[in-house]
Amino acid sequence: MNARFPSLFHELTVGPVDLKNRIFSTGHMAVMLENGLPSDAMVAYHQARARGGAGLIILEAARAHVSGVSGRPAIRAYDDACIPGYRRIAQACQPHGCKVFAQLSHPGREMTLAADGTQAVAVAPSAIPNERFHVMPQAMSSDLIGDVVAGFQAAAGRIRQAGLDGIEVVASHGYLIAQFFNPRVNVRTDTYGGGFDNRLRFAREVLAAVRAGAGPDMAIGIRMSADEKDHDGLGSAECLDIARALAGDGVLDYLNVTAGTSAGLAGSVHIVPTMAFEAGYTAPLAAALRAAITLPVFVAGRINQPQIAEEILNSGQADMCGMTRAMIADPLMPDKARSGDTEAIRACVGCNQACIGHMLNGYPISCIQHPETGRELTFGTLAPTETPRTVMVVGGGPAGLKAAATAAERGHRVTLYEASQTLGGQINLAQLLPGRAEFGGITQNLSREASAAGALIELGVEVTRELIDRVAPNTVVLATGARPYAPAIGGEEDAHIVTAWQIMQGAANPGSRVVIADWRCDWIGLGLAEQLARNGCHVRLAVNGMTAGQTIPQYARDKWLGDLHRLGVEVIPYARLYGADGNSAYFQHTLSGEAIVLEGVDTTVLALGHQPATGLADDLRDWDGEWHVIGDALCPRTVEEGVLEGLRIGVQI
């Protein structure tokens, strides 16, 4: 029994399966398939979490029937070719005491494109449109319903052949089974629509088919949203009634609880909730279901630390905690918690940038703090250096910290120099904005890794060419960051113009009426607008793009845009700044070329991006030693690119 986390590391029996602890990785698309089948990269990805101590891994949603195939690649569980890939994942994870479940799904109307990029023929219980993807589905015939049910049974049989331990049926997030549940989406008049039991008929047939295909030795569960939190979505009372009915049928071994729906923008933000949501906020939803049924209840939703999971389990809100992004950020999190080394855990900050952000763009998932995730075959094991070198890292932002940590871990003699008295670079600004304090954890995590690896850190030291000549390192890594880009603006001598940095640092008085010129279309403009609006300012956010937050992951953006609307912030798209004066800010519509004049302006705030700080690089042009430039000093981007380049250069040296 673990003294600090007795509940978290207590075994749990789920039907015929014994789990060694209460930590599981939820089904999530890793984008690591090859021709619809698990790849070597996917095997290595899941093996890393099994090796790190996870009790259960639920694999990503696989398609049980060809009618559910979309432009978003998924495991083809309707094809015998899936069996070897599933088997390889099981054989990689099970020796570590980690059980492996598959997930079977059908998106129904929640699909936009077919595999060839054309608009898909989506199917659903009824021809009721999807709001988010603007899809009008085809109502399923009774023959197709029967064929899909048979597909679930056949897919379950393939998963059993592969040697997995269980199967989870997806009825969450507004996908096909949930569409049958919902009387506002399912308006059928046959035996699959109308009354409550008729609307549950499809789910019951699918679950019975999966049990028949899986046999008695596999655990069978269902994933449900306990509240879809969207217009026309299933409410918590409806979900409770559905869960109680299905749990009483004697087919299920567990219920996996989440929130949200893919059908609308408001509900979709709960699919992968950002740092804007309270940690563990879905636990009360799970608690309501757990009080009504006798099956084990799993829950997921912003459970990013073992102490949060322990509290949820201890309070009886759930029996198992999904900690997916926690293990994306730190695959070793379970074992670190079990051994009591909680200070070494690299906590997920809920930024969604490289995990769900990558997935939505069709790229393998990773983590901005831990780019080794998703790249296990390349960076899973760091080879010790055979020729230790003296390495000087200049700059204590995320790029410099990762470079120092990686190089020191490999055996180099590393000293990191930071000109200010604090590490973190622009993270120190980001964490000042509303709801962004958690982002500061990145600095804590990276600086701890650098120190633990043996890197020395010197604060308050500005590195010059003279210092480099005096120290005479073998290698210099420049991670000197960037500064705000502030181009010449017509009329600026008569206007009050400040940078985003000055507002975040509290170094400028914005007055009562503010215009933010947002070229970046990222978190800076959104965060500034929220901060100033909450401080009582009248705020207009003029973005050089289609919408504010265009360049950041959609679930973070959409939650923020809803908040700004409630705060009364006016968002003006397609706006290119070209001038300002004492009372107005002048923009040009990027498409029509016509003027956009915003009057009654006290302050124009510039969020126009950054320029690399290249002074020291310029001074090293004729230096004979080895030197490299990484992060924003190379090209201003985000934390993700800086940390990845720090990793790469630390491996290269």
pLDDT digits (tens, 9 = 90+) for 136-171: 999 999 999 999 999 999 999 999 999 999 999 999
Closest by CA to 122, choosing from 104, 141, 135, is 135
**Angstrom distances, CA of residue 64 to CA of 106, 126, 157:** 7, 20, 11
Q: For residue 347, what are the contacts with CB-CB under 8 A and spacing of at least 6? A: 304, 305, 326, 329, 330, 441, 445
> How many whole angstroms from its chain centre is CA 426?
21
> How many whole angstroms from its chain centre is CA 547?
21
Looking up tokens 């985000």 gives 638
pLDDT digits (tens, 9 = 90+) for 512-559: 999 999 999 999 999 999 999 999 999 999 999 999 999 999 999 999
Side-chain half-sphere exposure of 3, counting CA atoms within 13 A: 4
Give the mean pLDDT of 440-463. Answer: 98
Q: Tell me phi and psi for residue 145, to 5 degrees.
A: -60, -45
Q: Which CATH superfamily is domain 492-608 in?
A: FAD/NAD(P)-binding domain (3.50.50.60)
User: In which band, very low, low, confident or very high, does the pLDDT at 113 lie, cut at 50, 70 and 90?
Assistant: confident
- The predicted pLDDT at position 207 comes to 98
- 0.95 surpassed by pTM: yes
Q: Which CATH superfamily is domain 382-483+634-652 in?
A: NAD(P)-binding Rossmann-like Domain (3.40.50.720)
User: In angstroms, rounded to a whole number, what is the distance separating the alpha carbons of residues 510 and 501?
Assistant: 12
User: In angstroms, rounded to a whole number, what is the distance separating the alpha carbons of residues 189 and 179?
Assistant: 15
User: In which band, very low, low, confident or very high, does the pLDDT at 586 lie, cut at 50, 70 and 90?
Assistant: very high
Domain 382-483+634-652 shares a fold with domain 492-608: no
pLDDT digits (tens, 9 = 90+) for 487-521: 999 999 999 999 999 999 999 999 999 999 999 99
pLDDT digits (tens, 9 = 90+) for 292-314: 999 999 999 999 999 999 999 99
Q: How many of the other CB atoms lie within 10 Å of CB of 6?
A: 12
**Angstrom distances, CA of residue 398 to CA of 297, 444, 578, 587, 630:** 38, 10, 33, 34, 10
User: In angstroms, rounded to a whole number, what is the distance separating the alpha carbons of residues 445 and 441?
Assistant: 6
Going by CATH, does the domain composed of 12-378 fall within 3.20.20.70?
yes
Give the mean pLDDT of 42-66. Answer: 98
Give the domain ranges of the chain.
Answer: 12-378, 382-483+634-652, 492-608
In the predicted structure, residue 3 carries a pLDDT above the cut 90:
no
pLDDT digits (tens, 9 = 90+) for 347-362: 999 999 999 999 999 9
